Structure 1
């Protein structure tokens, strides 16, 4: 306080302006409170009764078969950030998790900024971090009935590209995979439909794409593809749950297939709905090349009503 009082009026105005400009710059990022609030989306939840479960319930007096309702809905498992500048995750509270290190620095586009260029080499970092809205989401989903548990743990880092340098920055060994060498395999969009956004493989940070939003989306899809599979040659933790009686978790994420997962944009614009890539929704280009989406994944479950699970019947 004494330091502020000792400032001249001009220096005080400059100090206040600096604070205001800093606040304005951070307005393009996304914070935890906004992410938590974004879980209140009926469109992304897509709650439905999907079948009936059967349980064998036994007591000293004998056994009976009980039933429970099987439900299916989506759960926001993770926040997937895709951004150009290393250390600048748009989710501000987790930014410290992925700061530059000796093997992962810088970022951005490989371009001379000529207007006629149409084959820009772009680079994006990617972070997959557990969605922080679990408790709020559980209350929201429970209002519709019985709710399923997702695989994600809040704030858990499942993939940080700054720690996955060999695969993310050098495409080793994925540059040699058939999906990376053969055109038409594992692509987001289609060539014939003239809406090709990019290729899933090699699942690293580099791609050629003139549209920065599409670049961010492709890299987010790549990161989601890695963490929803086991045994990948990356530095990561699988974002997968194990099935059990009366619980059917989400499996591997597949591009363009909403039945495996869908995306809710968090920044640069906050969306109240979910979609798969590619989509025809309005696409706002981020000023700093940083994007974030919530990854929603489908789960089915039913309430346990006996000691032995006998099976389930799904509705058409």
Structure 2
């Protein structure tokens, strides 16, 4: 894993030193948080707190809410160093062992079985962090567990796993058909296998290949103890605050993707989804994950009760 203290200042320094973007910039990424479709805000229950003063104790309640937060900006792109989020592109410049990029695909339609390669960067979403830090103070919104501009994953630093598939190429998930796939064979919409979580995939459609790579990186980032070079995004729960668990492919209750490049969409989806081809082989999504929380109304958290009858 890479160090939080080292990478975050580096990312911020690069951001401040960069000039205007010619592709995807921080301003347009921050604006994407306004999507009500992706937010999915709901009041889901009540929290119960024990509030004590010198005159005695009482039980107070607060509203429990649930909504999605854009935590990561995940870019999946062909040419090493060409992250579509141009202000962050210097973070993933070519280094020894990760100089090259590009696809082995040829224009010949009879040869669509060669692997595509994508680099992937997963960086803390600037808009999601800023918006939730302010909104959380009201007690009617949850704070993001991600840190803005933090490089949680840069595939150029994860050379052994991302470019060589070591050790995941021999995992059961990688060699067992039908296990950990995005889409399904039965529904005839299978885009690719999640394992091994590396940068190569045999896939004739460029968007689908990029999406599978983004899902692979997100799968790593949202888990602890993976055999990759990364910083895990696994916020800890606390009284009145329930962050999300790992993302799971094909499960919209664990995450959503919002396309930002090559076109910005105001809706979210899980993969498989509608495809939009990029001329330069670069794609970027916001990764949204669900949080639940309630405002502290006492010194001691007692329990929460969902309107559906489930307690947490």
- Asked whether the two chains share a fold, i.e. TM above 0.5, the reply is yes
Hey, what does 1:98 align to over in structure 2?
92
Q: Distance in 1 between matches of 2:306 and 2:37?
A: 22
Tell me the alpha carbon deviations over residues 144-193 of structure 1, each in whole angstroms, 9 at most, x when there is no partner.
97110111101000000000000000000000111001010000001111
Q: For the residues of structure 1 that align with 2:103 and 2:66, how far apart are their CA atoms?
A: 41
Q: Contact 2:75/2:283 (CA < 8 Å) preserved in 1? A: yes
Q: Distance in 2 between matches of 1:59 and 1:239?
A: 38
SS of match in other structure, 1:137: helix
State whether structure 2 residue 232 is matched by structure 1 residue 238. yes
Please say if residues 45 and 141 of structure 1, whose CA atoms lie closer than 8 Å, have aligned partners that are also in contact: no
Preserved CA contact (<8 Å) 2:129 2:146: no
Q: Which runs of 5+ in 1 are unaligned?
A: 1-22
Residue 120 of structure 1 and its aligned partner are, at CA, apart by: 2.8
Deviations 1:183-240 (A, max 9, x none): 1000000111110111110001000000000001000000000000000000000011
Aligned to 2:169: 175
Unaligned runs of 5+ residues in structure 2 are 1-19
What is the CA-CA distance between 1:284 and the residue it aligns to? Answer: 1.7
Q: What is the root-mean-square deviation in Å for CA atoms of aligned residues?
A: 1.7
Please give the alpha-carbon distance, in whole angstroms, between the structure 2 residues aligned to 1:215 and 1:44.
23
In 1: Cα distance, 2:278 partner to 2:227 partner? 30
How many residue pairs get aligned? The number is 289
Quick check: 1:302 aligned with 2:267?
Answer: no
After superposition, the Cα gap between the structure-2 partners of 1:302 and 1:263, relative to the gap in structure 1 and judged at 3 Å, is same
Question: What TM-score results when the alignment is normalised by the length of structure 2?
Answer: 0.89
Tell me if the contact between 1:40 and 1:140 (Cα under 8 Å) persists in the aligned partners. no
| Contact preservation (8 Å) 1:83, 1:289 | yes
Higher CA-based Rg = 1
Which residue does 1:293 correspond to in 2?
Answer: 285
Q: Deviations over 1:46-105 (max 9, x none)?
A: 100011000000111111000000000001101000000000000000001000001101
CA pair 142-91 structure 1, distance change in 2 beyond 3 A: same
The residue that corresponds to 1:61 in the other structure is: 55
